[in-house]
């Protein structure tokens, strides 16, 4: 019997990724079914509105990970941009690649490193960012991943065996884990570059789970390439020592999806009947 594929679940919600032209539409539909991430809003964005964000311009500078040498992970940026486009189509954003090109790579890395280290940008750094992005971009968004940890949940041992199934040598073998989870926490900061100040700051916690595929009792065992553990000539010890399959850990980008979604929903919403509201409903 063929094995079922891994099921990816984020805080109780399944995420299925479509391909080609249907990616964004499917992504948006699945986001709406997700559970809200835990949040702590420090600066609630007083003075911000959907109209000002749209009219004055908004740019993503980057997504950094605390205590990592590499200051930027492209999958984290790409996932955030997809989430924002799916959840808040009324708020167009200048992509991180455009911010990088406007600054130049050395200056871009310097700014990301400053935010990665301290979680904030000094006024002179904000001024440098304002000059590079130009007058068409007033608001700059930066994100810092402050937690990235993996949890393993083991499957219960078979009934009647407290430590798992015995091997041919009499040594009990533990069952493979039934679930791999990744927990993440991300801090977002929005800067008003025109006034050189923070106008929004919040931290979001979310997670993603990968479950082991369903395994029939007599499923064939797998081993290294070129070795058939089920061949008639294979020894009993070789067949019994074949490793069991378990789930792989979710990616950090998957674990951040609900945090990204919560941030997008916390941004000021358009008033009913406004031009921004009409754009969002299309």
Helix (H, G, I), strand (E, B) or coil at 1: coil
Under DSSP, the state recorded for 224 is S
CB neighbour list of residue 127: distance below 8 Å, 6 or more residues apart: 193, 196
Residue 12 CA to chain centroid, in angstroms?
A: 15
Say what the pLDDT of residue 69 is: 77
Say what the pLDDT of residue 212 is: 80
What is the tens place of the pLDDT at every residue in 144-203?
Answer: 999 999 998 865 544 554 444 455 555 555 666 788 899 999 999 999 999 999 999 999
Q: Are 202 and 208 in contact (CB under 8 A)?
A: no
> Which residues in the chain belong to E strands, given as ranges?
7-10, 13-14, 38-43, 58-65, 139-154, 165-166, 172-173, 177-192, 197-211
Q: What single string gives the DSSP state of each residue in 238-261?
A: HHHTSPPP-PPPPPHHHHHHHHHH
Q: What single string gives the DSSP state of each residue in 185-218?
A: EEEEEEEETTTTEEEEEEEEEEEEEEEPPP--TT
Other C-beta atoms lying within 10 Å of the C-beta of residue 245 = 14
What is the tens place of the pLDDT at every residue in 208-225?
Answer: 998 887 644 444 444 444
Say what the pLDDT of residue 7 is: 32
Under DSSP, the state recorded for 94 is B
Residues in the chain: 282
- How many angstroms separate the CA atoms of 47 and 275, rounded? 19
Helix (H, G, I), strand (E, B) or coil at 70: coil
Under DSSP, the state recorded for 78 is H
181: which strand partners? 151, 209
Residue whose token pair is 């991180």: 96
Of 46, 144, 116, 53, nearest to 125 (Cα)? 116
Ranges in the chain, pLDDT < 50: 1-35, 157-158, 161-165, 215-243, 278
């Amino acid at each position: 019997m063929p094995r079922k594929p891994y099921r990816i679940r984020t805080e109780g919600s399944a995420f299925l990724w479509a391909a080609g032209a249907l990616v964004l539409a499917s992504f948006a539909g699945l986001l709406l079914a997700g559970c809200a991430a835990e949040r702590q809003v420090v600066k609630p964005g007083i003075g911000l509105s959907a109209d000002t964000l749209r009219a004055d311009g908004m740019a993503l500078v980057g997504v950094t990970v605390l205590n990592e040498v590499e200051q930027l992970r492209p999958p984290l940026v790409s996932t955030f941009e997809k989430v924002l486009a799916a959840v808040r189509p009324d708020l167009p954003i200048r992509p991180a690649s455009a911010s990088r090109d406007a600054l130049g790579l050395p200056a871009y890395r310097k700014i990301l490193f400053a935010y990665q280290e301290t979680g904030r940008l000094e006024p002179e750094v904000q001024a440098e960012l304002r000059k590079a992005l130009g007058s068409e971009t007033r608001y700059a968004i930066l994100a810092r991943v402050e937690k990235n940890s993996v949890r393993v949940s083991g499957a219960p041992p078979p009934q009647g065996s407290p430590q798992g199934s015995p091997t041919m040598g009499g040594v009990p073998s533990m069952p493979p884990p039934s679930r791999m989870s990744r927990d993440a926490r991300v801090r977002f900061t929005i800067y008003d570059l025109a006034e050189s100040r923070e106008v929004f700051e919040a931290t979001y916690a979310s997670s993603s789970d990968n479950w082991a595929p369903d395994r029939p009792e007599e499923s064939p065992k797998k081993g290294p390439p070129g070795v058939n553990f089920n061949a008639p000539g294979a020894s009993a010890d070789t067949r019994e020592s074949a490793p069991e399959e378990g789930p792989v850990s979710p990616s950090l980008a998957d674990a951040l999806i609900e945090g990204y979604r919560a941030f997008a929903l916390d941004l000021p919403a358009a008033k009913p009947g406004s031009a921004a509201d009409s754009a969002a409903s299309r």
